[in-house]
Structure 1
């Protein structure tokens, strides 16, 4: 009878497995959680959380009812309180108030579910430091969240929040707050009490302004307010001493307040607004700026003082009303990228612009009047010293090591070579080079050794070579933003380029193509500039493919064999600069093209019904 009784007490293994599967949580997982204090139940298609999870710190586990006191491995009474609970990527519609039984939680992650509300008991979790409820269906954030005094990170992005509770300002230890991709129309002034906030993301909402109380958030280093409806900024924004990155793209700004005390600001993104000027006073208070994004505005002139920004690395003024650039901008040694397409440039020829940043800088320097009393021997002396001690790679084809390291740029163009010396690549690797110019050489593919800088490379110029194919390794250059492939013998591009997610610019001309390559062009929503002029066999335009390029602002298809311009191209309203001259089509007529991009697109739209 005793033996039969024991068989009845312990369920068969098959039955136990089915029961655990039904509840979605295996007993062994809970057992491990009692030891580690961490429980990860993400991606299990759970519609509800079993009660035994909420009572993991209270109930005696089944194995504890039969375990020997001498078994050191199963001393459940010595368990660790649960500190980390991950319930992400399930189908949860609610959380139980029984979460109050887990007071030791420091991390609660329920992102990517279907939650429409949060239990009030969340406010009792006084040890909680990280709360992630992003990608749910929350329409409001309960006031109980403001009671979690130890909270350092709060993520509520991708919900349906229309406002934030006033007591959000009570979270005095909060460092990271992400409210992006909601339906917020304003921010509570109480947020000014968040004096330890380092990173604030309010992008993709419906904000009309930012509160002046942001000025008291002294620890702020990054503000992302992209894609809102902000028409003005509070002047107090200029008092943020530690601010390093400010994102304000795709708003309705017409004016920027002078950021008087933002001496630490490194990146300022003002693209896609309605600004008409940037003044000398703005510039003089931005000594540390390295990225200045002014694209898609209405700026008519840049102040000469912009040449004083000795840390400036990237300047984007695409699609403005600039007729020229300050000549002394060419002397800024740190400047690695100037993007100026889509401007009515009269002082700089288009062929110079097409050659890229270094040629633009060279041209600007050539326009500066040299002082008459400059001793010629001084210049020769410097060059002589470089030749003696700084040249790497030989006397005729070498590069100056000092210049390469300082500029983070390698210019190995016009050498008529098909390989680069190993010592030059090693120098580029040590200097973490971000820009390489290999144009006007004899390369037939990516040169060996370039992989040494794949982790840093942002700009690559392979124009005017003899490329017949492009190695698939190009897909490993994840930081690459601009590639120049003009005047080669390529017939296609490798599919691996689809991994380059941050491509804003690609230049390819004199290809032997009859249509634009589908990869990477039509799968790049971030592509902003596309030069495909002088592709002598291009015959058709795919308007549907162009429409998928939501960020495409510049499209140059000049001097091809395009026989017909599809009217549907007029629906691509994101295009600000469209160049179609030098093709075989008769409609639109040259008189229409001469009126500019807006007139051409409007004409094409008018022909859709016909």
Structure 2
């Protein structure tokens, strides 16, 4: 279809063409709606069958697609998008609206969002190549998920409009320090980056999700933090199953603005002492902390405590001035029916309190 300058939309049935292996959309400048779902039909080989893969050639200068409002391709595809090259199962993007003058001057991919992903992470998967982000300077949202990326290029720090970043399920060990220049970046998800061991000081973030980063040892640069006060703006932090963290209590103490903290699937027997100092903390998640025996010294601001599946948990202590509205202790089989705790919750008269103790529930 190369050079079909009047083409505005592809037929929906195109993804079902059983012999299609190459789709060239170069110079189709009037495309307004590009949605392709590639049906999973196997291709015959001498040795048997394998999943069909289609190579999709996108226009070399997507900024010429002034009419494009929707691009989405699903299936087993090979992507060659300037300096982003590799196999994936989904790509979608939203172009940024531009004035005619901006269209004439722009030589880059003027995209508002870009999403490239595989359905699930495979530790033996082929590595997607990210050579440079220099052609994507207008991105406000970038998702590169489950792609086994080995290295993030330094020029990611040039994405000055970037607000949301998801690099979950990749194989890099560190991130460029240039990311500290991303002043608008407020949300980052790095879940299941199992080889990640260190982070730059992303003090501008409000939400950081690191679930399953099992080799990550530090959120802060401890050598700097001990000598100078670094102010973090984090409101939400997810450290679910980050069991190799060092000096956890000290690091939590630096995050004075936290309102949501997830420490599920850790191996500590007591919660870090510094949690009591988090005067704005509203939600604490301790689900499946199998070794924790006691929960006490909670901040009075705490409204939601989730401790589902804490097998060794024996007691939970609430201060007389607690603000608890929801308490989940389901499947904490080491805990007896704590009559004192139940009485305290009921007497405090919170209308939204829900307490689960070994499948026993209380609603006041």
Both structures adopt the same fold (TM-score exceeding 0.5) = yes
Among 74, 86, 89, the residue aligned to 2:115 = 86
SS of the residue corresponding to residue 128 of structure 2 reads: coil
After superposition, the Cα gap between the structure-2 partners of 1:102 and 1:189, relative to the gap in structure 1 and judged at 3 Å, is: closer
- Residue aligning to 1:173: 204
Among 96, 104, 122, the residue aligned to 1:77 = 104
What is the alpha-carbon root mean square deviation over aligned residues? 4.0
Q: Tell whether 2:233 aligns with 1:196.
A: yes
Aligned equivalents of 1:35, 1:188: Cα separation in 2:
43
Deviation at 1:264, TM superposition (A): 4.0
Q: Which runs of 5+ in 1 are unaligned?
A: 1-8, 55-71, 319-338, 341-355, 359-406, 408-610
Contact 1:215 1:236 in 2 (8 A): yes
Aligned equivalents of 1:225, 1:26: Cα separation in 2:
43
Deviation at 1:108, TM superposition (A): 1.3
- Residue aligning to 1:476: none
Q: Equivalent residues in 2 for 1:12-91 (5 A)?
A: 18-20=23-25, 24-27=56-59, 30=62, 40=71, 43=74, 45-51=76-82, 76-77=103-104, 81-89=110-118
Equivalent pairs counted in the alignment come to: 289
Contact 1:136 1:158 in 2 (8 A): yes
Aligned equivalents of 2:154, 2:245: Cα separation in 1:
31
- Residue aligning to 1:228: 266
In proportion to residue count, which structure has more strand? 2
Using structure 1 for the length normalisation, give the TM-score: 0.41
Aligned equivalents of 2:158, 2:100: Cα separation in 1:
32
Map Cα deviations across residues 79-108 of structure 1 (whole Å, 9 max, x no partner): 693332222338872344332232232221
Map Cα deviations across residues 184-203 of structure 1 (whole Å, 9 max, x no partner): 36333449846322221111
Aligned equivalents of 2:115, 2:67: Cα separation in 1:
16
Aligned equivalents of 1:316, 1:208: Cα separation in 2:
30
After superposition, the Cα gap between the structure-2 partners of 1:33 and 1:157, relative to the gap in structure 1 and judged at 3 Å, is: farther
Contact 1:41 1:86 in 2 (8 A): no
Aligned equivalents of 2:312, 2:182: Cα separation in 1:
41
Q: Equivalent residues in 2 for 1:17-416 (5 A)?
A: 18-20=23-25, 24-27=56-59, 30=62, 40=71, 43=74, 45-51=76-82, 76-77=103-104, 81-89=110-118, 93-165=127-199, 167=200, 169=201, 171-184=202-215, 186-190=217-221, 193=230, 195-207=232-244, 210-251=248-289, 252-259=291-298, 261-269=299-307, 271-279=309-317, 282-293=318-329, 295-300=331-336, 301-303=338-340, 304-311=343-350, 313-318=353-358, 339-340=359-360
Deviation at 1:241, TM superposition (A): 2.3
Aligned equivalents of 2:83, 2:219: Cα separation in 1:
39
After superposition, the Cα gap between the structure-2 partners of 1:30 and 1:89, relative to the gap in structure 1 and judged at 3 Å, is: farther
Deviation at 1:258, TM superposition (A): 0.6
Report which of the two structures shows the higher radius of gyration computed on alpha carbons: 1
SS of the residue corresponding to residue 80 of structure 2 reads: coil
Contact 1:129 1:153 in 2 (8 A): yes
Aligned equivalents of 2:103, 2:80: Cα separation in 1:
22
Aligned equivalents of 1:207, 1:310: Cα separation in 2:
40
In proportion to residue count, which structure has more helix? 1
Deviation at 1:155, TM superposition (A): 0.9
Aligned equivalents of 2:129, 2:156: Cα separation in 1:
9
Deviation at 1:276, TM superposition (A): 2.5
Contact 1:215 1:237 in 2 (8 A): yes
Runs of 4+ in 1 over 6 A off after TM superposition: 72-75
Q: Which runs of 5+ in 2 are unaligned?
A: 8-21, 27-53, 86-98, 120-124
